[in-house]
Structure formats: structure tokens, C-alpha cells
């Protein structure tokens, strides 16, 4: 199981209403549904993945996250989840502003672009391919990851938009860290933030 899923499972209390944006085939939603009295809703653009979710009894709306969130009512969800997805969005700032209206808390995970190994690899290889690709198939020009960001980038934006960072996790090591005291922007490969407003 993905480490960020484990962390999210521990963060979300029973009796919550959860929206998973870019829920893929519903692994995280199925996991969360093991909790008591939890109500989940997914959003996914890929129809085959939507069908997988349906087969598992999950509720998922097919839609493009760049547009679909405008259809969602305000203050309807306790938690909005965005796992390894923000880098694929057309306008991450707009999405975060929408999420602020839709949910009370936001949990977001992403790969830190400033992770030192990535930076070194980029410096020596001189190509954006590895930095941007989501799987081995893509190169810089056809990668869905159009907005890679570092921990620093993200936290500056979050502050601008008026979010409070409640929790920060080094996902790979499944460890909380106090932001911004540790040099996480360099040493943390993948990060997870829990935010509210």
C-alpha cells in the first residue's frame, strides 16, 4: 500500500465525509470505507477507472478536475484529498481556492521537485524527462505533470491563499516533521500536508 494512503487513513477520523479528487481505481476510497460511518465520493477522469470503482461499490463522478469541482456544493465535505495529482492540474492555485470552498480540510501529497537526488540527477543529465515523467512512458513534452513544485513553492502558495498547515509528513519515511524548521525542501522526497483555513 502506498505510504501516503497509510498516513491519510490515520489522519481521517470516523464519521467523516471525504472527497478524493483524482481517485484512480478507488484504492484509497476502499481503504477509507473500512472506517465507521464514513461517506466517500470520488472524482476521476478515466472512464475505465470509474468502472473499477463502481464494481467495488464506490461512488465516483467522471470528470476533469480542472472543471468538475465547480459543480460541487460548498462546505459539503470534511476532507478533500488530492494525492499526487496537483502537478497535473492546469491551475493549481485555482483548484486550491475551489477546494477551500468545497471542503473543511485538505490533505495533499506530491513529489518534492527540489529533493536533492532529483536536483543532482537533473544537473548531471541535463534533461527534464525524468523530473516530469509520471511513468517511464513519458518525456518532458507529453508528460501530464505540467506543474511540478517543490515544498517551498507549495507552502508559499498555501500561505498566499490563506491556508494553515496543520501537519506535515515525510511520506517515504512515514514521519511527521515540523515545517519549516527541518531542511525538508532538500531531503524529503515526497511530502504530505494537511491544511485548513
Dihedral-angle region of residue 37 (phi above 0 means left; psi in -120 to 50 means alpha; beta otherwise): left
CB atoms within 10 A of CB 147: 17
Enter the C-alpha cell of residue 120: 543532482
Task: Give the whole-angstrom CA distance, residue 62 versus residue 68.
Answer: 9
Segment near other proteins (CB under 8 A); pick from 2-10, 37-45, 109-117, 158-166: 37-45
The helix (run of H) or strand (run of E) holding residue 167 is strand 164-170
Determine, following the binding rule CB under 8 A, whether residue 114 of this chain makes contact with other proteins.
no
Determine, following the binding rule CB under 8 A, whether residue 15 of this chain makes contact with other proteins.
no
Query: Cell 476502499 sits at which residue?
Result: 30
Q: Which of 15, 71, 117, 144 binds other proteins (CB under 8 A)?
A: 71
Determine, following the binding rule CB under 8 A, whether residue 54 of this chain makes contact with other proteins.
yes
Least Å from the CB of residue 16 to other proteins: 13
Residue 41 or 184 having the CB closest to other proteins: 41
Determine, following the binding rule CB under 8 A, whether residue 63 of this chain makes contact with other proteins.
yes
Residues that bind other proteins (CB under 8 A): 17, 39-41, 47, 50-63, 71-73, 76
Amino acid at each position: 500500500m502506498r505510504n501516503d494512503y497509510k498516513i491519510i487513513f490515520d489522519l481521517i477520523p470516523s464519521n467523516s465525509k471525504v472527497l478524493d479528487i483524482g481517485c484512480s481505481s478507488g484504492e484509497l476510497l476502499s481503504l477509507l470505507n473500512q472506517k465507521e460511518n464514513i461517506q466517500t465520493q470520488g472524482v476521476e477522469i478515466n472512464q475505465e477507472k470509474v468502472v473499477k470503482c463502481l464494481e467495488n461499490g464506490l461512488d465516483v463522478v467522471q470528470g476533469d478536475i480542472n472543471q468538475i469541482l465547480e459543480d460541487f456544493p460548498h462546505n459539503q465535505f470534511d476532507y478533500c484529498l488530492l494525492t499526487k495529482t496537483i502537478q497535473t492540474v492546469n491551475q493549481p492555485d485555482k483548484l486550491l481556492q475551489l477546494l477551500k470552498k468545497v471542503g473543511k480540510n485538505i490533505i495533499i501529497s506530491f513529489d518534492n521537485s527540489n529533493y536533492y537526488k532529483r536536483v543532482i540527477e537533473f544537473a548531471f543529465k541535463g534533461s527534464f524527462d525524468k523530473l516530469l515523467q509520471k511513468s517511464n512512458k513519458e518525456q518532458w513534452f507529453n508528460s501530464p505533470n505540467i506543474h511540478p513544485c517543490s515544498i517551498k513553492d507549495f507552502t508559499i502558495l498555501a500561505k498566499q491563499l490563506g491556508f494553515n498547515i496543520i501537519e506535515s509528513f515525510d511520506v517515504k519515511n512515514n514521519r511527521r516533521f515540523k515545517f519549516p524548521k527541518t531542511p525538508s525542501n532538500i531531503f524529503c522526497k515526497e511530502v504530505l500536508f494537511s491544511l485548513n483555513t
